[in-house]
Amino acid sequence: MKVNNKTHISMTDEDVKDAIIKYLYQNQGLSGIFDVKFKLRKRSIPSQYPQDCNYVHEFDGAEITVDLNEK
């Protein structure tokens, strides 16, 4: 018998930003004013008809800027 315990967590973009900032502050020692921007990539999905092209946007990382001159 195999028992699986699972928890489902939904996070908003702000929740993810807060988690990134908390990680960088606590584990990397960075403090300042954080600017987190998520990057998306547009990828085409092949179609059986060459003139038809479907696209999907995928998460492609994040760009984080930390202003160390806190004011």
Q: Does the global pTM surpass 0.95? A: no
Q: Would residue 27 count as lying in a domain?
A: yes
Q: Would residue 4 count as lying in a domain?
A: no
Q: Quickly state the pLDDT bin for 70 (edges 50, 70, 90).
A: low
In which domain, by residue range, is 42 found? 13-67
Q: Would residue 6 count as lying in a domain?
A: no
Q: Would residue 1 count as lying in a domain?
A: no
> What is the C-alpha separation between 42 and 49, in angstroms, rounded?
19
Number of domains the chain contains: 1
Single out the residue of 41, 38, 43, 42 nearest to residue 61, CA to CA.
38
Q: Would residue 17 count as lying in a domain?
A: yes
Single out the residue of 45, 38, 41, 40 nearest to residue 19, CA to CA.
38
Q: Would residue 54 count as lying in a domain?
A: yes
Dump pLDDT digits (tens) for 27-53: 999 999 999 999 999 988 877 776 777
